[in-house]
Chains A and B, each alone.
Chain A
Amino acid sequence: MNPPVSWWWAAMAGLVTVGILPLVGQSMREDDRLRLRCRWDGRDIDAAYRARTLDDAGAVSEFCDVGCARSWMGRHRSLSRTILVTDEDSRELFDAGEAFFVRSSIETNSVTRNRWHVFRSRDRAEQHARESRGRLMVGPDHPFSFPIEIP
């Protein structure tokens, strides 16, 4: 049985309204999209610990920290890529191949529980390792020695 004409009009108005909602939602999130978010867990990125990867196709992925970058790469092994990490002292991005990594007792993020610390200078890395009950991670312990084990 056909519902009354008013129902069809009401439904039309309802559909137009629900059609507007995604537009409103997207426009409200526009500022949100400009903020740097971690590719792995979607959290805001702290500039002191961020990591970045560039793959062969030119795609850039930003991460909260080394732990998130490792998790991401553990699940996307096929792509070859350049990895940039941030020096904790100068907060500058540089190639991960030149970095010294320390795993210490200090967590950089209470949610991700990242304990990877990155330094450009070996002396600073060793100092941090001494002061924070950590260890310089080289050779097979290097965070980006492939294949990466999924944490």
Chain B
Amino acid sequence: MIVNAYAVLTAFVSLLQFAIGLLVITSSLGRGRVGTPVDVENRPYLLLLLSFLLLGLNLASWPLLYALLQSYVPSWPDVMCIYGVTRIGTGSVGSARHLPWLLSTVQCAKPLLVFLGGGWFVLYLANRATQTAPLLPRLLSGLLPLGVVSVADALCVGTYLAIPKQEQSLSVGCCTSAMADRSRFLPESLLGPGPHTWLTVALVIVVVGLCLGLLGAIRHGRQHHRYVLGLLAGTVVAIPLGGLFLIEIASPTLLQRPHHCPYDLVTEVPESVLAVALFTLGCFSVGWAAVATWLGRAEETLDVLPPLIGRVLFVGLFGYLGSMIMFTLEFSLS
């Protein structure tokens, strides 16, 4: 166990996530049936306040995780960046063998939590604009997956923090093995050598298409199910393309060396993290708009939803455009 300021802060946040997540789960299970206006007025205030706190904790815990991993980098002589930290425990025979999969799970859970929280918040905004809160049962049901994932995430982070980060290998004592093992800390290209121009072209086409689609949805009010489904499909294609682009093209170009490691960008080109965050915001916003389109439908929300969805899509458009502008400038200046 490595104890530093970030580890203590992460442990504290995880503890809060765990406790509030459990409270939210138990409360949402017990209050699933809210039917009368009296129920609406009396019951869910504390639950909603707890949910907002959980949303904030989940959001804060995402960058905190990477700050923690960055603080662990000097702990091992061979490790040069966060990628190396994520590889600690690989091939180990002790409890450290669980570290890589725990970290992978946490790295997947963080964006999932932010997406779930954002979707829930958009439904909350739609519900708040109505007179009789027709979406309240759906809001309370939506807290269940949010609470479950939060608790699971907090457990994984807590376990990761508690496991000793000392690797025990069967090949200890053999300097040749130790040398050969060094390569596991070097991030490799996923697609092999080559310029991969097709990847850049494909991503630009998809993102420009998405921006035009979003502009159409915002300016001309095209927000029916099929149109939002089209935008969602474009986003589903953009996410893996964006990830590959970051690893294969953006990282080596911005770092100016053959490293396919997006983690290095955190310390060496920090503003590019904002570009990645904006791209993520763009993707998530389309997802949140889809959530509002499908789960926010009720007689009373028919007038509320179009402007709300329009604004969420507007945020998505801003995210995609901001990300494109930043990466274009970074590339032209590198």
Which residues of A are in contact with B by a Cβ distance under 8 Å?
A: 1-3, 7, 11, 14-15, 18-19, 21-26, 29, 37-43, 71-72, 75, 110-111, 113, 150-151
Bound Cα distance from A24 to B257, whole angstroms: 21
Question: What chain A residues lie within 8 Å of B264 (beta carbons)?
Answer: 42
Q: Does B299 contact A (CB under 8 A)?
A: no
Bound Cα distance from A18 to B257, whole angstroms: 25
CB within 8 Å for A22 and B330 given contacts A150-B183, A151-B182: yes
Bound Cα distance from A43 to B309, whole angstroms: 47
Evaluate contact between A75 and B258: CB separation under 8 angstroms.
Answer: yes
Evaluate contact between A42 and B218: CB separation under 8 angstroms.
Answer: no
Evaluate contact between A21 and B77: CB separation under 8 angstroms.
Answer: no
Interface string of B290-334 (1 = CB under 8 A from A): 000000000000000011011100100110011001100110011
Rounded to whole Å, the gap between the CB of B208 and the closest CB of chain A is 15
**Contacts A25-B270, A25-B271 given; 9 further ones with Cβ under 8 A?**
A2-B219, A15-B318, A18-B274, A19-B326, A22-B333, A24-B271, A39-B257, A42-B255, A72-B258
Evaluate contact between B257 and A42: CB separation under 8 angstroms.
Answer: yes
Q: Which residue of B lies closest to A110 (CB)?
A: B77
CB within 8 Å for A15 and B322 given contacts A1-B221, A7-B314, A151-B183: yes
Evaluate contact between A11 and B314: CB separation under 8 angstroms.
Answer: yes
Q: Which residue of B lies closest to A150 (CB)?
A: B183
CB within 8 Å for A11 and B318 given contacts A23-B329, A111-B77, A111-B80: yes
Could you name 9 residue pairs across A and B whose Cβ atoms are closer than 8 Å? A1-B310, A2-B218, A15-B322, A21-B274, A25-B271, A26-B333, A71-B186, A75-B258, A151-B182
Rounded to whole Å, the gap between the CB of A145 and the closest CB of chain B is 17
Q: Does B268 contact A (CB under 8 A)?
A: yes
Q: Which residue of A lies closest to B74 (CB)?
A: A111
Bound Cα distance from A18 to B183, whole angstroms: 36
**Which 7 residue pairs spanning A and B have beta carbons closest together?**
A1-B310, A22-B329, A1-B307, A25-B271, A21-B271, A1-B306, A18-B322
Evaluate contact between A22 and B326: CB separation under 8 angstroms.
Answer: yes
Q: Does B103 contact A (CB under 8 A)?
A: no
Bound Cα distance from A71 to B272, whole angstroms: 28
Q: Which of B77, B78, B310 contacts A3 (CB 8 A)?
A: B310
| Best-surrounded residue of A14, A18, A26 (most CB of chain B within 10 A) | A18
Question: What chain A residues lie within 8 Å of B180 (beta carbons)?
Answer: 151
Rounded to whole Å, the gap between the CB of A10 and the closest CB of chain B is 9
Rounded to whole Å, the gap between the CB of B53 and the closest CB of chain A is 28
Question: What chain B residues lie within 8 Å of A151 (beta carbons)?
Answer: 179-180, 182-183
Q: Which residue of A lies closest to B178 (CB)?
A: A113
Q: Which of B80, B272, B278 contacts A41 (CB 8 A)?
A: B80
Bound Cα distance from A96 to B326, whole angstroms: 43
Evaluate contact between A113 and B78: CB separation under 8 angstroms.
Answer: yes
Bound Cα distance from A145 to B270, whole angstroms: 39
Bound Cα distance from A138 to B32, whole angstroms: 77
Bound Cα distance from A102 to B272, whole angstroms: 42
Q: Which residue of B lies closest to A61 (CB)?
A: B257
Interface string of B248-270 (1 = CB under 8 A from A): 00000001011100001000111
Evaluate contact between B326 and A42: CB separation under 8 angstroms.
Answer: no
Rounded to whole Å, the gap between the CB of A106 and the closest CB of chain B is 13
Rounded to whole Å, the gap between the CB of A103 and the closest CB of chain B is 10
Rounded to whole Å, the gap between the CB of B209 and the closest CB of chain A is 19
Rounded to whole Å, the gap between the CB of B69 and the closest CB of chain A is 17
Evaluate contact between A111 and B329: CB separation under 8 angstroms.
Answer: no
Evaluate contact between B325 and A18: CB separation under 8 angstroms.
Answer: yes
